[in-house]
Structure 1
Amino acid sequence: MPDRLTAIPASEHTLLTALAQSDAAAFTEIYDRYWQLLLETAYQRLGDQDQAMDVVQDVFVKLWDQRETLDIQHLRAYLQTAVRYRVYNLIALQKVNDTYFKYLSLLDQSSGAADYFVLYTELEQQFKQILEQMPEKRREVFDLRHVEGLSTKEIAAQLNITQKTVQNQLIKALDSIREILTALLILLINGPH
């Protein structure tokens, strides 16, 4: 079957059937056929080549990992939808992170008010505690991204890990700070205006 796939362009149905049977040649054909389209789809929404490549790679990893259980009718549409979904999740996580640091910065600037000073101090302590409780590698990845400002590609190269691992660690780190972000936003909304 691999020879037939490389010799004659296969239909989506043929590729999906072969993929479900763990045919690596079918996966390679799908990858080669759709990589550029998916990269352009992700890049249009993110505007960042490294992040777009991470998203596309994640989609293909998931396709391979779930190859035996996926029920895909239209491969191209499925892959593009998967990319859009990953992009929206990435944007949402980034907004959570940006919002947290924006409000933390605002609190720092307005910390002259006694209530805000107490609030800021408490939140800062909680944030430091969350960072201290993170596994060492996760905290290192988080610091390199959000303190040093490195891209996921630069972090992966510096720590000798994959960009996928960097992304996973960043997502887990952001999940850890969601609770404190929620508390901060509630207190800011209910605080003095």
Structure 2
Amino acid sequence: MPKKLSENICEAATFERIYNKHADDVHDFLYYKYGAQFNPRDKVQDAFIKLWDNCKKITLTKAKSFLFTVANNMMLNEIKHQKVVLQHRKINPKNHNNETPEFILEQEQYLEKYNKILSNLKEEQRVAFLLSKVEGKKHSEIAELLGVTQKVVEYRIYSAFNILKKELEGFKIK
């Protein structure tokens, strides 16, 4: 069927015919030129959306050229965007904190003292305390894991906590 030059792209049948004729060609062009990592199928769909948005301005003879140009430009914009994203990832943010060197030193010393006291606890106390406070396990779960009663677990945690509180200044646990 011969095409009329006066056909309007805004008509659904004409637009569908253009889509069926050129969608695969535009996709293949983008795929072979840029590869699959930039989603050429999406760019084809976006190009056809732009064609539909501008259907009154574009003649039927210019539709193919418009599609290829728009899709290619979209792909180039995507590549530029990815380059910016990669450049941004390369820039490491500066690590600033408002802590004084004295505070950092005190913190390190406190942690060192805490670890020393933990290592000096009886193994049963240390295991029960760490399972409860570090791993967040319930007393009943700890009792089941260790094969003891819940009261024994509570006593071990309580006694470990008392030793830490006595040995460390300002030691508190929520």
Q: TM-score, normalised by structure 1?
A: 0.44
Q: Rg: which structure is higher?
A: 2
TM-score (norm 2): 0.49
